[in-house]
Structure 1
């Protein structure tokens, strides 16, 4: 009688030999033969094959997504440079002046310089990344329609903002808040499949901050401390509208 016991690295053959006993019974004697598999070789072959397969797959993936990887690298590098001193590398002087005034408004409203800088940095990161997406032709036809709708809404918001400033006692906080919220929603829809959840959160934080009813009310107070900032912001918006930028 024989059987074998197997494990991962070895196996044994066990033999049972039958002999007649002195009392007429049967005596069983066991012997075994243990063999070791050549597992190191098989493992090495399997590992080599797996490495070759992984290498081939990685190479294929890199070749397939090289454009995406390059775009991600650009976005990461430019995001790390997103501060007020480097912003002029990516946007025009007029927009830069508007951003500076928005920063001052945020700093005075929150009373927190670090928080105001973070809000502005988030705003710049959003602008830079969306600019890169446009430059690399990442938007499809449907998304380009959304982009046009966003530009129209932004233009409407700029016209409304300057009108409220130029004509006394016409400011309506809910109108301005709703326009900013509409811009936010269109922008989120535009970048939905292109930017990360973290970038979506940045968009929400920026637009929610500037659509804050209390902030807008203080900003449009004719005798309030924010009036000089609003004057420069509206001057810049008028120039951007004249140039066709927004």
Structure 2
């Protein structure tokens, strides 16, 4: 998306206004995709959920820069996919993969909620499998549209959240209980409203 895979570039023939507009949107989205900008475009519950995920990563890693990087990666990929959808750039197969991603992510969210709400049900392998399924669908969606940098963002996010030690810690260590409570209250609300 960051000028990669554009069918019309300055050196390869005529440039259409639509392709130029799309490239500009992608560039602006890349520059403006941060936590504060995301709050302009998303609802309050989703904003709180992103804030809580940031706090969780920061608390777990004791690394503010890593937490900011993970959050920025999430936001940038979501914004860029939103631009692709808005501009009807996805093929029917890619739209099908969006639906597959949505279903897998919904199942992931409901599984995590269940593991959080019902003691002794945590299943590390199940969560990791769902996270890797989501990652695979995401790559199928963005493969022909985004740069390697954006693809690395997807890997960075899903590899971090599927790490065994991370998942074991956040689900089993009481140290994270207040942040997890906030995450799952907002996740439950989004699921109940059909938004997640």
TM-score, normalized by length of structure 1?
0.73
* Separation in 2, partners of 1:226, 1:72: 41
- State the 4+ residue runs in structure 1 displaced beyond 4 angstroms: 57-60
Compute the displacement of 1:59 (Å): 10
* Separation in 2, partners of 1:235, 1:76: 34
Match of residue 88, structure 1, among 33, 36, 39: 39
2:175 pairs with 1:225: yes
Number of the residue aligned with 1:244: 194
Compute the displacement of 1:159 (Å): 0.5
Contact conserved, 1:180 with 1:211, CA < 8 A, in 2? yes
Structure 1 alignment gaps of length 5 or more: 1-56
Compute the displacement of 1:90 (Å): 2.1
Contact conserved, 1:90 with 1:128, CA < 8 A, in 2? no
* Separation in 1, partners of 2:58, 2:11: 47
Contact conserved, 1:154 with 1:183, CA < 8 A, in 2? yes
* Separation in 2, partners of 1:85, 1:145: 31
* Separation in 2, partners of 1:58, 1:112: 43
TM-score, normalized by length of structure 2?
0.90
2:12 pairs with 1:62: no
List per-residue Cα deviations over 1:16-65 (Å, max 9, x = no partner).
Answer: xxxxxxxxxxxxxxxxxxxxxxxxxxxxxxxxxxxxxxxxx8696123xx
More off after superposition, 132-141 vs 66-75: 66-75
Compute the displacement of 1:209 (Å): 0.5
* Separation in 1, partners of 2:122, 2:62: 25
> If each structure's helix is expressed as a fraction of its own residues, which one has the higher value?
2
Aligned residue-pair number? 187
CA RMSD of superposed structures (Å): 1.6
Q: How does 1:96-175 map to 2 (within 5 A)?
A: 96-175=47-126
Higher relative contact order (CA 8 A, sep 6+): 2
* SS class of match (1:220): helix
Number of the residue aligned with 1:178: 129
Structure 2 alignment gaps of length 5 or more: 1-9
* Separation in 1, partners of 2:14, 2:151: 27
Number of the residue aligned with 1:203: 154
* Separation in 2, partners of 1:190, 1:123: 15
